[in-house]
Amino acid sequence: MDLQLSGKTVLVTGSSKGIGEAIATTLGREGATVVVHGRDKTQTERVAQAIVAEGGRAHAVLGDLTHDEAVEQLIEAAEGSVGSIDILVNNAGGAGGAMETWDEVRPATWLASYDRNMLAALRVTRRLLPAMRRAGWGRVVNISSGAATMPPPFAPDYAASKAAMNAMTASLAKAVAGDGITVNAVSPGTIRSAALEAHFRGIAVERGLAAPGAPWEEVERAILPMVAQVPLGRVGRLDEIADAVAFLASPASGYITGVNLRIDGGLSPSL
């Protein structure tokens, strides 16, 4: 299926590794000109160079999305390299390192999580929307989380910030529907990133369920049931997230807006 992304420009925030890197790489393969964003210069340039090495077009920009000035600077750099941005993927954010329980919870942690996830996406989105409106076409894809609709008993700040992102998605989709812009969210479930694999392997070795260096399938089979009851019985792949984002970012998805697409192997107990 031709996603008609050739000639489109896309900014993927937080794309120097993990899900963001997979999304940027996939969009590059589909013909889009990709602006790779990160805070680590070496990592960010590595991803951009890899896209170019595959025959794609990519540029690297750096900046901390929790600062208005840095956002303005990175967008100016992006537009200076590729022109106006047609597609925005708000992927930057994450749970951070606190992972507090309700016994430990602090307002400062909630503020930092909200800034890192929700407000970072807001800063970039509001800066790029006027150009999309003038062009009469645009795509915004927000990378949310299954935690937004199924919050665990720990890290409530992260779940709340992603729930806010879902609300932002629905509201913005209605506000810009008449301007040729669609806004959707993607909520990954348990996905095999480098961090998740290391976590699974650590548990497996600690509990004597798998040897160091055991095949991933063996580790996955032993640990996944302890972490999440996924009906499909496996961990998701990065490319499965990236392919869904590429579709939502494309002209082919023009009648889909305001959606939260859960990619979780059936983990969610409801529609």
Active site residues: 158
Packing angle of the helix pair 156-176, 107-114 (nearest 10 deg): 40
What is the per-residue burial (b if ≥16 Cβ within 10 Å, else e) of 10-48?
A: bbbbbbbbbbbbbbbbbbbbbbbbbbbbbeeeebbbbbb
Count other C-beta atoms under 10 Å from residue 174's C-beta: 12
Beta bridge pairs of residue 185: 142, 260
Query: What is the Cα–Cα distance from 113 to 153, expressed in whole angstroms?
Result: 16
